[in-house]
Amino acid sequence: MKQAKLTLEGKEYEFPIVIGTEGEVGIDIGALRQNSGAITFDPGYGNTGSCRSAITFIDGEQGILRYRGYPIEELANGMRFTDVCYLLIHGHLPSPEQLSEWRHQLNHHSLIHEDMKKFFEGYPPNAHPMAILSSMIGSLATYYPDEEALFDLNMIRLLAKTKTIAAFSYKKSIGQAYVYPRNDLTYSSDFLHMMFAVPAEPYGVPKVLDNALNLLLILHADHEQNCSTSTVRMVGSSGANLFASIASGVCALWGPLHGGANQEVIQMLEQIRDDGGDYNKYVDLAKDKTSDFRLMGFGHRVYKNFDPRALILKKAADDVLNELGVNDPLLEIAKNLEEITLKDEFFIERKLYPNVDFYSGIIYRAMGLPTEMFTVMFALGRMPGWIAQWKEMREEPSGRINRPRQIYVGEQKRSYVPVKER
């Protein structure tokens, strides 16, 4: 298969075929408008490949997710998040020397400039931490110049400082003193230490929490050309610096149809619990075409069989809650919802299965994280993916500014008649 043919108003056009390493087929319509005058029309980009990428492979029909070729199930089974960051950004696993240098760098760049602490004072106490996170990441550009020689260092700074910014935004929201990062802790333990330690008493991060957070971060680390990652690439394609590009990705992630869904899942489960636990009523509501209620944490643009991350998280939710001795009625409601939808024609027909957000919120809750922080946790995990995708885009020799076209459906030319003043 080398070419695709298109017939438009009796004329035939040929287009080359692009084939990926896993056999996916794309029709390269780069010359379509120039040759035929037409453009493709694909609102929501469900059928549009926006780039070539060697970072993450997803087969939504078979429930496959791989980072740089490695199955997510293998990476999630014992790897540290920092090492997955290296893999995503550099494309290969580090040597022992590279690994210790990488971890050292990530620890030693986790402080934020003392002046940035003052920024937090300007936000109201109930500010959503995603708003703080995006503006603080954008503000990093005022401290660290956007020079090619500094790209690698800026990527490390961003990874290292995001966890400090995220933890500080939580401390700010509860009015507690900021806890500084510690270089002797793992990435996930350091974050939990900055979140939960208080000066008055010693705090040791329980191993179960360190492992649970490590797993969650790995599962969120990249997901190819989703809404926030495409935003990062879109903004970066104009030549905008790393911090500005990633800040815009954080904003895109915030929406309830994307990363904001994990917060919405818990709110939905709480609503079901407070309403007497009748989950059937909410399943019916989600199926009712006159209502705009959706089961949050269900459905995915790409996964049409199961979300492999949700399978891993379902088991992790059981393990973590058991180990912590937490009995959360929301977990029961969640499992019941999943069970009933798996047998329901509406959900089967539309291929709607629990996604990554469905069980992650329950684990975050058991870890003691407040609901408003859930999407921040997603952003923390997605950081290496955004960075790797931004880097790949920058290194693409034929990279062009992203600039989609449109089908104009507004008024045709008309003459301006001034409004007569009374």
Residues involved in catalysis: 300, 357
Residues 347-376 that bind ligand COA (CB under 6 A): 350, 352, 355-357
Site string for ligand COA, 291-330 (x = CB under 6 A): ---xxxxxxxx-----------------------------
Q: Are 29 and 40 within 8 A, CB to CB?
A: yes
Residue span 209-248 as binding mask against ligand COA, x where in contact by CB under 6 A, dash where not: ----------------------------------------
User: Closer to ligand COA at the Cβ: 299 or 384?
Assistant: 299
Pairing of strands 25-27, 3-8: unpaired
Minimum CB–partner distance for residue 136 and ligand COA (Å): 24
Q: Which is nearer to ligand COA, 224 or 396 (CB)?
A: 224
Please name the residue ranges forming H helices in 350-399: 356-366, 374-395
Torsion, CA 375, CA 376, CA 380, CA 385, rounded to 10: 40
Rule CB under 6 A: say whether 257 interacts with ligand COA: yes
CA-to-CA separations, 51 to 46, 54, 279, 398, in angstroms, rounded: 14, 10, 41, 11
278 residue type, one letter? D
**Site mask for ligand COA (CB under 6 A), range 56-95, x = bound:** ----------------------------------------
Angstrom distance (rounded) from CA 88 to CA 396: 16
Q: Is 97 helix (H, G, I), strand (E, B) or coil?
A: helix
By beta carbon distance, the residue nearest ligand COA is 299
Least distance from ligand COA to the Cβ atom of residue 313, Å? 12
Residue 287 C-beta: closest distance to ligand COA, Å:
7
| 281 part of the interface to ligand COA, by CB under 6 A | no
> What's the rounded Cα separation, in Å, for the pair 133 and 135?
6
Residues whose CB falls within 8 Å of the CB of residue 417, separated by 6 or more in sequence, listed in order: none
Instruction: List residues binding ligand COA (CB under 6 A).
Output: 257, 261, 286, 294-301, 350, 352, 355-357
